[in-house]
Structure formats: C-alpha cells, structure tokens
C-alpha cells in the first residue's frame, strides 16, 4: 500500500461539530490543500452529538484495538467527506469515550482520541499527522516513525494532567504533571500558529501563557500562517441566509440587510444610525471587560449594538440587562444562531472585536467580506488583517491600548467617518475586495509539508 499523505487531527470540524474557529479551519483548509494536489484526510471523534445521514457514511474498519489505561479498547472507523468536496473525513467511534458534545465529557477523552489517531495513522499508512490544539498535542510525543506538525489555535487552553493520571492512561513514567500543548511544541517536527503576528507574540510572557520559553527553543521551526475563510460559505453574493445579496460593485444594496436587521432587533428602523455588530464567544479573551466599562458611554452615543454569542454567565447577564434597559440601542442574543450571525455580518456597518489576544480571528475577515468595517485591537491576526483607517487601502479601525478609553476613541473615529458617505464607501469597497481565501496560506502549508 502506498503511503497516504497528510492526516489532519482535531477535536472539531465544521459543519459536523463546531464550537469555535478551530472547526472552520479544519473544515476548510483541507479543501484548499486538496485543490493544490495534496492528499489530505481529516480525523475527529464521532461524538454522540454528530448526526450524519447513513447514506453518506461508510465503514472503514470495525473493532480497531487501542491500548488505553492498560486495557484493550475498541473503536470503529467510519468515513464520509467534507461538505462540497472529496476530502475524506474519518470518524472514530466509541460510545464510552465520545458521548455528548466535544467538551462535555472528561478531558481524558482526548488522550484516548490521540492514541486512536496513532492506531489509525498506522493502519491507513499516513505519512504525516497535522495536529491542532491541545486535544491532539500529545500525538507528536506518542508518534513513532511518522512526521508531525502541530498548529496552535489558542495557547490559553493547554491540557494539563497530573503525572498519576497520565502515567496510568498511556503507561508512561512522568514524575511531574504534563502539559499536552508543551509536549506538542517540543515533540513535533514543525510548529505553526494561525497568524505571523501571533507567532511573534507567543514568544513573549504577555502572550505565551507560560509556554514562551518552550516556544523560544523551537523558534527556528515556528511559523505563522494566516487563516483564510471559505469563500463558498461566506460570500454576500451567494449567501442564502441574508435577505439581499450584494457585491462590492452593488454595495448600495447592503442597506436592505441593515433595514431588515434593525426591524428584527429593534422597534423602529433608522438607517442613519450606525449599527455595530458582534458575533463572538462571550469570554474574557474577547475583551468583554473593556465593553463592560465602555457600555455606559456607548449607550450615550448615536449607535446601535447587536451582540450574538455565548459564554461567561457574568458578561451574558450584564449585556442582557443593558439591552433590556436600552432596548432601542442594544440587542443581545445568547445562543448559537448561524442565521442571525450572517444577518449581522450583512446588516451591520461596523464589527467590533476588542480582543485581549487573538491568534487569528475569523469574524473580522468575514465582516470585511460583507462590507462591515471592523473595529479591532491591534493584536495577533487582527493586526495582520485589518488596515487602519488612516493608512493606504484602509479596511477598518484599530486601537492598541487595552482600555475602554482607547476602545471608545476608535468607536468615535468610526462614527465620525460614517457621516462621510464617499470615504465610507471607499473603505467598504477596499474591505470587500481583500482576498481572504485560503489559497496563499494553503501554499505555505504545502511548503512546510514538503
């Protein structure tokens, strides 16, 4: 049997199972690689929550043995394809370990997953395993005779286990606790992360989350490659979820989506009011402490705010309470709603991302494709993708300091420019014309594989 090429291993893959941006990357980058001729497959756990039509599902092999915690466990390997493609998606099925959602069970499930990945790669003759985030970061440590690449999507989640637990699970002899992400960084052939700027930032204590020293040792093998977005999925010209399709040439039509969004979220429609959207995890990382501080002032300004996301209860409450009090200015929905997300990208004038750190960020790229101008903090991939309004080819607004004052200053700058219709149009056009497709980044990965 000839050697298969690349096996993408991750905890999430859109549209089958998605919690965050990781899923979007794992569900779209392989398709771009395939277009370049790379033989790539994806492997994820077959969580109970995944539903796939039986006609789209084939069995690869039943009762594959995985040694875990000193016992023989069995998994079934299924396959299907990524949507609109012929990229093979392998699903590892085991009822005991993969019940519920990705992060509902005990996190030792990902050690089991990692052991099963090694068995599968061996069985199916893969040449390289491309691991993503801590859930598969122990694979490079466990793998023998196989090349590994490890991609960091979010260094804040590292997967730490005490030595007793891990020694039992993988029959090792660690004397201290282990950190999966650290093992991934140390043991993989190549380490990458999802933007050039973040690749620099994680070498510093401010952004390294304690792993900056480990990363500095691997500096020569660390690469930052910017994420792309799937142009079939996020395209205002084709998006079926929005009320009016439009392109940068027919940008005037975008306003119909604004009108409809205002109608859906507020009592009255006023197209002269700048509408700021957010589609986000409601977490500290995303800068909600800055928003909390800025809220009283934001509610005094001439603007409307539409926020969609789930996360920390504390912030969800503050946002919901404020939206109840200022129902003509602020709308909040704390659940997952892909349809509303798309309506926000299409219907908003501005898109806010005041993140404390942002490895890449996909929201700002989607927003720009839909002509909604991002207001972002200059960190990670946000800095790499948004050109500030006072520079040539500007596509949005940026601020540097992590403070509510800096955030408000950027918002005010944006609101001022909103009044200058022709300047605003130019920014929108330039934003919509930017190329956020995977093509260049897929080529960069291909180079690394070679």
**Residue 230 vs 358, nearer CB to ligand GLC:** 358
**Residue 56 vs 232, nearer CB to ligand GLC:** 232
Q: What's the min distance (Å) between Cβ of 227 and ligand GLC?
A: 5
With CA atoms as reference, report the closest residue to 235 among 84, 386, 340, 346.
Answer: 346
User: Does position 25 bind ligand GLC by CB under 6 A?
Assistant: yes
**Residue 194 vs 290, nearer CB to ligand GLC:** 194
- Tell me the residue number closest to ligand GLC, measured at CB: 21
Q: What is the DSSP string of 3-64?
A: PEEEEEE-S-BTTTB-SSHHHHHHHHHHHHHHHTT--EEEEEE--TT----GGG-EEEEEEE
One of 8, 21, 64, 115 touching ligand GLC (CB under 6 A): 21
Q: Segment contacting ligand GLC (CB under 6 A): 19-27, 235-243, 309-317, 406-414? A: 19-27
Beta bridge partners of 190: 149
**Residue 154 vs 304, nearer CB to ligand GLC:** 154
Q: What's the min distance (Å) between Cβ of 80 and ligand GLC?
A: 22
**Residue 18 vs 79, nearer CB to ligand GLC:** 18
**Residue 201 vs 358, nearer CB to ligand GLC:** 358
Residue 65 and residue 119 in contact, taking contact as beta carbons nearer than 8 Å: yes
Residue 432 and residue 247 in contact, taking contact as beta carbons nearer than 8 Å: yes
Q: What's the min distance (Å) between Cβ of 41 and ligand GLC?
A: 19
Q: From residue 205, how far is each of 75, 156, 199, 200, 214 by CA, in Å?
A: 41, 12, 13, 11, 11
| Binding-site string for ligand GLC from residue 348 to residue 377, where x marks contact by CB under 6 A and - marks none | ----------xxxxx---------------
Q: What's the min distance (Å) between Cβ of 273 and ligand GLC?
A: 30
User: Does position 22 bind ligand GLC by CB under 6 A?
Assistant: yes
Residue 386 and residue 354 in contact, taking contact as beta carbons nearer than 8 Å: no
Distance in angstroms (rounded) separating the CA atoms of residues 52 and 418: 45
Residues 136-175 that bind ligand GLC (CB under 6 A): 153-154
Q: From residue 145, how far is each of 24, 42, 140, 148, 254 by CA, in Å?
A: 30, 20, 10, 10, 53
Backbone angles phi, psi at 348, to 5 degrees: -90, 155
Helix (H) or strand (E) segment spanning residue 278: strand 275-282
**Residue 277 vs 359, nearer CB to ligand GLC:** 359
Backbone angles phi, psi at 150, to 5 degrees: -120, 125
Distance in angstroms (rounded) separating the CA atoms of residues 276 and 257: 13
Q: What's the min distance (Å) between Cβ of 359 and ligand GLC?
A: 4
User: Does position 135 bind ligand GLC by CB under 6 A?
Assistant: no
Backbone angles phi, psi at 321, to 5 degrees: -60, -45
Q: What's the min distance (Å) between Cβ of 270 and ligand GLC?
A: 33
Distance in angstroms (rounded) separating the CA atoms of residues 385 and 371: 14
Q: From residue 131, how far is each of 3, 153, 226, 310, 392 by CA, in Å?
A: 18, 11, 17, 27, 37
**Residue 87 vs 116, nearer CB to ligand GLC:** 87
Q: What's the min distance (Å) between Cβ of 382 and ligand GLC?
A: 8
**Residue 359 vs 396, nearer CB to ligand GLC:** 359
**Residue 218 vs 281, nearer CB to ligand GLC:** 281
User: By CB under 6 A, how many residues form the interface with ligand GLC?
Assistant: 13
Residues 190-209 that bind ligand GLC (CB under 6 A): 194
Q: What's the min distance (Å) between Cβ of 278 and ligand GLC?
A: 15
Q: What's the min distance (Å) between Cβ of 13 and ligand GLC?
A: 12
Pairing of strands 88-93, 71-81: antiparallel
Is 99 in a helix, a strand, or coil?
Answer: coil
Q: What's the min distance (Å) between Cβ of 377 and ligand GLC?
A: 12
Q: Segment contacting ligand GLC (CB under 6 A): 21-29, 64-72, 321-329, 345-353? A: 21-29
Backbone angles phi, psi at 153, to 5 degrees: -95, -35
Give contact residues for ligand GLC (rule: CB under 6 A): 20-22, 25, 153-154, 194, 227, 358-362
């Amino acid at each position: 049997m000839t050697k298969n090429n690349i096996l993408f291993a991750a905890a999430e893959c859109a549209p089958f199972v998605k919690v965050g941006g990781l899923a979007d990357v794992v569900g779209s980058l392989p398709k771009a690689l395939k277009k370049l001729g790379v033989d790539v497959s994806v492997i994820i756990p077959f969580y109970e929550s995944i539903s796939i039509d039986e006609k789209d599902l084939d069995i690869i092999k039943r009762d594959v043995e995985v040694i875990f915690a000193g016992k023989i466990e069995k998994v079934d390997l299924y396959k299907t394809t990524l949507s609109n493609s012929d990229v093979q998606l392998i699903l590892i099925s085991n009822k005991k370990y993969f019940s519920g959602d990705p992060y509902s069970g005990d996190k030792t499930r990902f050690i089991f997953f990692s052991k099963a990945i090694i068995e599968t790669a061996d069985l199916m003759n893969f040449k390289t395993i491309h691991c993503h985030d801590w859930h598969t970061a122990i694979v490079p440590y466990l793998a023998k005779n196989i090349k590994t690449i490890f991609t960091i999507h979010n260094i804040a989640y590292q997967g730490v286990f005490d030595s007793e637990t891990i020694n039992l699970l993988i029959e090792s002899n660690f004397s201290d606790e282990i950190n999966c992400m650290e093992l991934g960084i140390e043991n993989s052939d190549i380490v990458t992360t999802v933007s050039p700027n973040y690749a620099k930032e994680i070498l510093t204590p401010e952004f390294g989350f304690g792993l900056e020293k480990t990363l500095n040792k691997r500096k020569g093998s660390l690469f930052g490659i910017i994420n792309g977005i799937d142009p079939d999925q996020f395209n205002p010209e084709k998006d079926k979820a929005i009320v009016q399709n439009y392109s940068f040439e027919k940008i005037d039509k975008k306003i119909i989506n604004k009108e409809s969004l205002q109608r859906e979220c507020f009592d009255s429609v006023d197209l002269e009011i700048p509408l700021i959207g957010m589609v986000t995890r409601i977490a500290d990382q995303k800068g909600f402490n800055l928003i909390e501080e800025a809220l009283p002032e934001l509610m005094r300004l001439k603007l409307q705010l539409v926020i969609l996301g789930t996360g920390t209860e504390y912030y969800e409450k503050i946002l919901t309470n404020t939206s109840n009090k200022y129902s003509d200015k602020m709308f909040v929905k704390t659940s997952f709603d892909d349809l509303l997300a798309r309506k926000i990208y299409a219907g908003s004038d501005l898109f806010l991302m005041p993140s404390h750190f942002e490895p890449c960020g996909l929201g700002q790229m989607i927003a720009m494709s839909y002509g909604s101008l991002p207001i972002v903090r200059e960190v990670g991939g946000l800095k790499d993708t948004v050109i500030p309004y006072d520079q040539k080819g500007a596509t949005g607004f940026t601020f540097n300091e992590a403070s509510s004052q800096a955030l408000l200053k950027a918002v005010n700058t944006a609101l001022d420019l909103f009044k200058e219709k022709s300047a605003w149009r130019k920014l929108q056009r330039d934003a919509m014309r930017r190329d956020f497709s995977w093509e260049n980044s897929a080529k960069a990965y291909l180079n690394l594989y070679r």
